[in-house]
Structure 1
Amino acid sequence: MPDILTLEEITNRANEETPVEITLRQTKLTKSWLLPHLDALHADLRQLRSAFDAAYRHSAEVTNNPRRTYPKGYCLEISKGVQNLLQQQIQQPTTPAMQALREFCLNGGIAKRVWGNLRNSYFQNAFQFGSLYVDVANDTVNPSKPQVEILPWVKSGFYAIRDYAKYAKLAEVYWGGKVYPNRYLPELAVMFPIVFVNRYGEVELQANYQTILYRNMEQNFKLAETYLFNRKNYGDPLPDPYHAFLQNEFGALAEPASDDVLRGLFADARKTGLRFDISRCQPMLDQALEVGKRSKRA
């Protein structure tokens, strides 16, 4: 989780990580430039992954994190690291596969990092190369799996996440925690409709850094509103220890906010143009991060 979160960062990350539509042109470019070199591309990506592992697995970021054993849980770091190495290779290709990938990009092929729902089981960072799904961190949940996986996009089971209900279900499956609707800090609910208690018993306001936060703001908080007013998402009340933490540290309500209170907050957010007001949004972003930081220290 980042130490600082800004609207600019949220926007940039959402644009970077969102898959694009696979057009006929992208399919043709993939067929012309990438498919003839698929085995070689796979081999080159394995070499880049090995190079990144050698440089990163003994870094302080890994050795000082007792909760994660490399490579488990490092899909973002691995994907970004290999992306940097890949960009260097594309600029000065040294193999036929890298030359083909360069030509693919120069002719309008899409090559970008993406984040989303993989087979309704994982949050995953991967790449979209035209009509191909490319995962260089395929072993970050199960280390016995191959490091690199390349599949036709339509067979990958990878989807962008566009609503909080699916996000919440996947968070519980993937991170092993429990989701609760945020009716306890209602002033933050329009941007952060989910309270997540992770497997370590720490409280987080989700999603406080994922691309769905941008999509929610882009749609004028409609995604958060839909989630909070769907009775199926009410679930169990927030357990007393976590409720007490939010009350003591952040002035959370003694009882969950009513529908009328929430409706008023959503209406006010839209009427006053909250999503365009950095001076009001930034303190909300800061407080969402502070919840997670204080909970870790508690």
Structure 2
Amino acid sequence: MLPQEPRAPSPDQQALTATWLEPHREVLMRLWQCVRTEVDRILGAKQPIKGGKPYPLGQCLEISQGALQLMRAWLKQDQAPSLPRDAALGFEALCRFLTAGGSLRSVWGVLRDRYFQNAFQLGSWYLDVANDSVDPAKPQVEILPFSASGLVAVADFHQFARIAESYWGGRIYPNHLFPSLAPDFPLLSEVDGIGLRLQVGNDYMIALNRREGFRPARAVLARGAVPEAVRHRIGAVFAEGELGFHPTQGQALALNACATYREQGRQASTEHRDAAVRQYLAVNRRLAEVDKAKAPLQ
């Protein structure tokens, strides 16, 4: 199983859910609502706006990560802080479920073929603690049978690009400008309010691509082109060769890198992965300067 991969729950998890979670659904819902309230207190002050949108819009990842970090801290201490009685009962039920072998794991995928979603698999449940991050009129927390959630794994970079353009309202290009990074991060996104960024930096997409020997990256790099205006905008911040920037001949170099990395077995190298992630982060920090250097596209 890949990191964060949505999977149909096993019979064991279904049985554990029926025994340890289902009889306590209401207090467990109350527990996760309290978790969300605490995350809102911290994150709402830290990042009240993202991409021009007010919290919690567009902050599914941040809310989910905050909720998981908070719950892990409580579980490590084997107690939650002062909670309302019903939420405290929910925490006790969750602890019994986990002690019996129940699973709580972070998952990421495409929800109903419309947008990306970070959520949790709690046994055979789908647990979303950021249910209002797309539509603020929805309840903050949602619990469903996982089979009814509509969450599926992303199949490849083509699907990612299609959903990203629709959901983010942006444009997705092949990464023909940083060819040494293209086997690992084969896309370049341009989103109003955020700007240009290399994609995709989550654990699932990195692992999927590496499992297939960089072939998913090569498939998406073989199509399309980067608009000339975008090349010029990035060239205003990056010198040729800096962090692997190549404004011309990038597609050929990127495709060749996919084949070379596969032949060298880099898909199995943790050292290569970590180095690529560090360079990806460095490039994206510099890309954040692009729109400061030149007016955005009209």
TM-score (norm 2): 0.81
Give the one of 129, 132, 141 matched to 2:125: 132
Which of residues 55, 60, 63 is equivalent to 1:70? Answer: 55
Q: Deviations over 1:114-163 (max 9, x none)?
A: 22211222221111101100001100111111101111101101112241
Q: 2:289 aligns with which of 285, 290, 294?
A: 294
Contact (CA 8 Å) 1:133, 1:152: kept in 2 or not?
Answer: yes
- Please give the alpha-carbon distance, in whole angstroms, between the structure 2 residues aligned to 1:129 and 1:50: 19
Match 1:254 to one of 241, 248, 251 = 248
- CA pair 66-223 structure 1, distance change in 2 beyond 3 A: closer
Which residue of 113, 120, 125 maps to 1:120?
113
For the aligned residue pairs, the C-alpha RMSD in angstroms reads 2.6
**Matched-pair identity in %:** 32
1:86 aligns with 2:80: no
Alignment partners' CA distance in 2, 1:162 and 1:156: 18
The residue that corresponds to 2:220 in the other structure is 227
CA distance in 2, matches of 1:24, 1:97: 23
* Paired residues of 1:181 and 1:228 also in contact (CA < 8 A): yes
1:35 maps to which of 5, 10, 22: 22
Distance 2:221 2:277 in 1: 22
In 1, the alpha carbon distance for the partners of 2:98 and 2:39 equals 23
**Which amino acid in structure 2 is aligned with residue 294 of structure 1?**
E
- Out of 272, 277, 281, the residue aligned to residue 276 of structure 2 is 281
1:111-190 alignment, distance < 5 Å:
111-190=104-183
Q: Supply the distance in 1 between the matched residues of 2:144 and 2:278 (Cα, whole angstroms).
A: 42
d(CA) in 1 for partners of 2:70 and 2:194? 37
Stretches of structure 1 that go unaligned for 5 or more consecutive residues are 1-13
Residue 103 of structure 1 and its aligned partner are, at CA, apart by 1.2
AA partner of residue 288 (structure 2) = K
| Matches of 1:253 and 1:247, distance apart in 2 | 7
Distance in 2 (CA, whole Å) between partners of 1:133 and 1:28 is 15
Deviating above 6 A after TM superposition, structure 1's stretches of 4 or more consecutive aligned residues are none
- Mapped to 1, the partners of 2:32 and 2:51 lie a distance apart of 28
Residue 26 (1) aligns with residue 9 (2):
no
Following superposition, the deviation at residue 174 of structure 1 comes to: 1.6
CA distance in 2, matches of 1:157, 1:292: 34
Instruction: Look up the match of 1:192.
Output: 185
Note the C-alpha offset of 1:88.
Answer: 4.8
Query: CA contact under 8 A between 1:204 and 1:291: conserved in structure 2?
Result: no
Report if aligned partners of 1:247, 1:254 keep a CA contact under 8 Å in 2: no
Note if contact 1:194-1:207 (Cα within 8 Å) is conserved in structure 2. Answer: yes
Which residue does 1:11 correspond to in 2?
A: none
Q: What is the count of residue pairs matched by the alignment?
A: 275
Amino acid at match of 1:113: S
2:296 equivalent in structure 1: none
Instruction: Read off the aligned partner of 1:215 and give its amino acid letter.
Output: L
* Cα distance between partner residues in 2 of 1:272 and 1:228: 19
- Greater Cα shift, 38-47 or 134-143: 38-47
